[in-house]
Amino acid sequence: MPPRPYFSGVFAGKTVLVTGHTGFKGSWLTQWLLLLGARVHGLGLDPDTTPSLFDKAGLSARVEHQIGDIRDAALVRRCIAEVQPDFVFHLAAQPLVRHSYKEPVETYATNVMGTVHVLDALRALQKPCAAVMVTTDKCYENREWLHGYREEDPMGGFDPYSSSKGMAELAIAAYRRSFFAGHPVKIASARAGNVIGGGDWALDRIVPDCIRALASGAPIGVRNPHATRPWQHVLEPLSGYLWLAACLSKLPDNHSPLCSGFNFGPGHDANRTVGELVTEVLKSWPGRWEDQSDPHAHHEAQLLQLSTDKAHALLGWSAAWNFAEAVRETVTWYRETEQCNDPALIQSLTHCQIDAYTAAASEAGLPWTQPAP
């Protein structure tokens, strides 16, 4: 099948390193890059959930696959020197707030020093390469503002996970200023909020919690029903990462406003409470939920919104699916694959959702969908 002609066709035939390729977002990104004709090389740990999208979609047979720890600086240096990537998407991280309270040292080591190891290894790369470093909307100092955080707002973070990503952002900016002026490697960072989508089985995330409960006929226990988040389908930020990398790849050096941090978030209609999200899930998979708020639980931000004006102005990027579509596609994916262990069928459903998402983005006139000339 010929490569899909999107993102200016820049990924066709190119070598792309994805760190965290065995994770939820990494597995979706890997499948999208394969559709775009890229040669994908993954660096990450073995999937830590059973099932995992990586295993269900049979991705180990479709990519160059390296299991390794990004806390090992020499391993990361060797990997980048051997792979000689044209593009890097750095997603590997310890991504869970609650786990970061249990394992703060591991969280900082992985999220801060892992990122520094990737940046440092990229310094030695003497060829054009576009690198998108993935952090999170939680990297901002959260003041429970009603308006969305902008890219210039201060980094911060209450808990170890959030602050580790704020620290990663500071390291990315410092490395770019200190080592990458005039360097062939172009670097940007991407901050996205909570994503939903088929194939996530992480603990302590609301959609996987819903699916586990619904599949077993139990009520969904909701810890934080009033917390508001900018929910978006996983394909939304991934389209932002891919388009940002495609635009970076056309720059001669890092002297461009594109070599900076970008928010990727949904439209305002998707800023919903956890309770509203669960109610929407139940429209596609009937069941019930119960409030399990714990007044003694660790602190989690209640209100978090992103401004995406910069991505809109500089990249022409915006979200393509509304809240109801994102939830419906997510629940459909789980329902249709619940009893399925055939990688070909899982891939085919995933490809269908990527194509449906691309069609919606094309209808909205988003520039990344314009076929390459």
Ligand X SMILES: NC(=O)c1ccc[n+]([C@@H]2O[C@H](COP(=O)([O-])OP(=O)(O)OC[C@H]3O[C@@H](n4cnc5c(N)ncnc54)[C@H](O)[C@@H]3O)[C@@H](O)[C@H]2O)c1
Does 133 interact with ligand X (rule: CB under 6 A)? no
In whole angstroms, how far apart are CA 345 and each of 3, 201, 316, 340? 19, 19, 33, 8
Which pairs count as long-range contacts for 357-365, CB under 8 Å and 24+ apart, including other chains?
357/233, 357/235, 357/239, 357/320, 357/321, 357/329, 358/4, 358/6, 360/320, 360/321, 360/325, 361/239, 361/320, 364/318, 364/320
- Tell me the closest approach of the beta carbon of residue 336 to ligand X, in angstroms: 21
- Tell me the closest approach of the beta carbon of residue 202 to ligand X, in angstroms: 6
* Cα 164 to Cα 95: distance, rounded to the nearest angstrom: 10
Please identify which residue in the block is written with the tokens 């009893």. 339
* Beta carbons of 12 and 246 less than 8 angstroms apart: no
Does 194 interact with ligand X (rule: CB under 6 A)? yes
How many helices (H) and strands (E) would you count in the chain? 13, 13
- Tell me the closest approach of the beta carbon of residue 7 to ligand X, in angstroms: 19
- Tell me the closest approach of the beta carbon of residue 110 to ligand X, in angstroms: 4
Element containing residue 264 per DSSP (H, E): strand 261-264
Please identify which residue in the block is written with the tokens 């308006």. 147
User: Judged by CB under 6 A, which of 40, 93, 167, 210 binds ligand X?
Assistant: 93
* Cα 305 to Cα 229: distance, rounded to the nearest angstrom: 7
Nearer to ligand X, 92 or 331 (CB): 92
Identify which range of 32-40, 89-97, 147-155, 270-278 contacts ligand X by CB under 6 A. Answer: 89-97
Identify which range of 32-40, 188-196, 211-219, 336-344 contacts ligand X by CB under 6 A. Answer: 188-196
User: Judged by CB under 6 A, which of 8, 94, 162, 305 binds ligand X?
Assistant: 94
Identify which range of 19-27, 169-177, 247-255, 334-342 contacts ligand X by CB under 6 A. Answer: 19-27
Does 24 interact with ligand X (rule: CB under 6 A)? yes
User: Judged by CB under 6 A, which of 134, 185, 210, 242 binds ligand X?
Assistant: 134
Does 108 interact with ligand X (rule: CB under 6 A)? no
The sign one gets for the Cα dihedral 118, 29, 333, 315 is positive
Identify which range of 194-202, 285-293, 322-330, 334-342 contacts ligand X by CB under 6 A. Answer: 194-202
The token pair at 247 is: 């635009």
Segment 318-357, which members bind ligand X (CB under 6 A)? none
HSE-up of 299 (CA within 13 Å, CB side)?
A: 10
Does 166 interact with ligand X (rule: CB under 6 A)? no
* Beta carbons of 229 and 268 less than 8 angstroms apart: no
Phi and psi torsions of 188, nearest 5°: -135, 165
Residue nearest to ligand X (CB): 23
Q: Which residues contact 289 (CB under 8 A, 6 or more apart)?
A: 210, 213, 219, 220, 221, 222, 275, 278, 279, 282
Does 57 interact with ligand X (rule: CB under 6 A)? no
Phi and psi torsions of 15, nearest 5°: -95, 125
Identify which range of 20-28, 144-152, 213-221, 288-296 contacts ligand X by CB under 6 A. Answer: 20-28
In whole angstroms, how far apart are CA 258 and each of 1, 184, 252, 294, 321? 32, 15, 12, 42, 24
- Tell me the closest approach of the beta carbon of residue 87 to ligand X, in angstroms: 16
User: Judged by CB under 6 A, which of 62, 65, 71, 150 binds ligand X?
Assistant: 71
Nearer to ligand X, 8 or 163 (CB): 163
Does 136 interact with ligand X (rule: CB under 6 A)? yes
Does 70 interact with ligand X (rule: CB under 6 A)? yes
User: Judged by CB under 6 A, which of 92, 113, 132, 185 binds ligand X?
Assistant: 92
* Cα 227 to Cα 144: distance, rounded to the nearest angstrom: 11
- Tell me the closest approach of the beta carbon of residue 29 to ligand X, in angstroms: 9
Does 77 interact with ligand X (rule: CB under 6 A)? no
Does 266 interact with ligand X (rule: CB under 6 A)? no
Q: Which positions touch ligand X (CB under 6 A)? A: 20, 22-26, 44-45, 69-71, 91-95, 110, 114, 134, 136, 192, 194-195, 202
